[in-house]
Amino acid sequence: MAKLTATCNAKLTTNARKPLNQTCSTELSIDAHATPTSTGATAAGKVLGRAPLIHKRIDCCTFITLQQNTYANCVHSLVALDIKPSQIFLDHLIKIWDEGDAVLPIDQRLPKSAKQKLFKDLGASWIITNDGEKVKLDTGFQTEADDALVIATSGTTGLPKGVVHTHKSIHASVTAAGSRLSCNSNDHWFACLPLAHVGGLSVLLRARQYQSGLTIVDGVDQSLLENAINTGANLTSLVPTALQKLDVSNFRAVLVGGSSIVDKLPANAITTYGLTETMGGIAYDGKALDGVEIRISDTGEIEIHGEMLFRTYRDGIDPKKEDGWFTTGDLGEINDDKLTVYGRKDDLINTGGYKVWPKLVESSINQINGVTDCVVLGLPDAKWGQTVCAWIVLQNPNGSLSLENVRRHIKETLADYCAPRKLFIVESIPRSALGKVLSAEVLKIESRCYE
């Protein structure tokens, strides 16, 4: 089992039996008196103030007392926030936490039927809507005392699961990221990712923790981004597809994650690796954040340990090992003190006995002149077991690209068995709000096929 150790001062040592581990002391803390009116988030590109602290720093004895007082009269309900990204969303989130309940943020792009299924499956007791209506549900069930958040996974590998995070895991995640980014009250976050996902929600939480400025928008384009920059925004988080379309040169740092990373990144971009179960990024540019341990199992899977890990799934299933390690289902390796992620275990293509990493092939294809996007998947094949197939988006919709040219290009940088045997020219690649490829939707696309 390959492991790696990293210390808090970023001095890394490699050993075949050591985990990637960064540790530093943190204080248990909670904010029992946050008020919605003190937030500094707007949806119009103006900042009215500073976001309040998530937590007041207090000693452990005070923490225990406050926690008992805070939750003494609560039923630990799960409250669904069916609200678009806005200050109203943040106000409600703070109030729900003050009352000792947990939050279930709802993706605003979901149809009504999908939302109703989430409410039922994840056990929400209340729904708060954009117009302020609060609806009681009969199908809800309680959360535990320290539970703060239930996030529905993207469902790219199956049905969405409810990931339960505690105040402790959120605090660990926010402070680890803040430490790496040197966050402070002079910063100003631009929040443009969906708040129903950890990548978007974490932006709000970091701003609150460090009393930073905060601008919340529903979606992003260059004009919204420039408005935010003009009001002082210097930090943001984006998906690769958005990064390719925007000028982000004026930001101090741009976190990029959620899908395959583009080859050419701006100097201020930081690639992140993480999952819903880790409350977002736990490795920046391949380096573990403070308090995170990463190791590679004997089967090549990435395993993670740390306080930012989720408590359990909403159905009560806790997949973590007895010693607290969580197997991600992602494949990767650690070389030269750096984590490299190859993709989901289920995405690995086995063709004729050879293993092909789709991300490596995608990276090569994206270097072809005229290609703007692509995805590589394995399809069943009677002869090879699986065959490598590529779906490609061209800059010129009426343009053409031959399978022969693609294969020739791939063979210049990768083994010949990595070259696609089928090529599909498509108008776009279906992706989630965070840029993850929706493989099932890709397979449904009617397109030109070359083989």
At residue 347, the pLDDT reads: 85
Tokens read off for 403:
């399978």
| Dihedral sign (CA 206, 151, 173, 274) | negative
pLDDT tens per residue across span 208-254: 999 999 999 998 889 999 999 999 999 999 988 788 889 999 999 99
296 Cβ partners below 8 Å, 6+ apart?
1, 2, 3, 302, 303, 332, 333, 334
Amino acid at 103: V
What does the DSSP assignment read for 311-377?
SEETTS---S-TTS-EEEEEEEEEETTEEEEEEEGGG-EEETTEEE-HHHHHHHHTTSTTEEEEEEE
Count the neighbouring beta carbons within 10 Å of the beta carbon of residue 320: 17
- For 148, the enclosing helix (H) or strand (E) is strand 147-152
pLDDT tens per residue across span 51-105: 444 433 323 332 333 333 333 345 789 999 999 999 999 999 999 999 999 999 9
Tokens read off for 82:
């069916």
Tokens read off for 145:
């005392």
Alpha helix stretches (DSSP H) within 32-86? 60-71
Domains and CATH numbers, the chain: 2-342 (3.40.50.12780), 348-450 (3.30.300.30)
Blockwise average pLDDT, block size 10, the chain, 451 residues: 44 34 35 35 38 38 34 70 95 94 94 91 95 91 95 70 97 97 97 94 96 94 92 93 88 85 82 95 96 94 97 96 95 91 87 87 92 92 90 87 92 90 92 82 80 73
Tokens read off for 350:
């086995």
User: Is the pTM for the entire model greater than 0.85?
Assistant: no
Spatial separation of the C-alpha atoms in residues 426 and 98, rounded to whole Å: 48
Phi/psi-derived region of residue 343, left when phi > 0, alpha when psi is between -120 and 50, beta in every other case: left
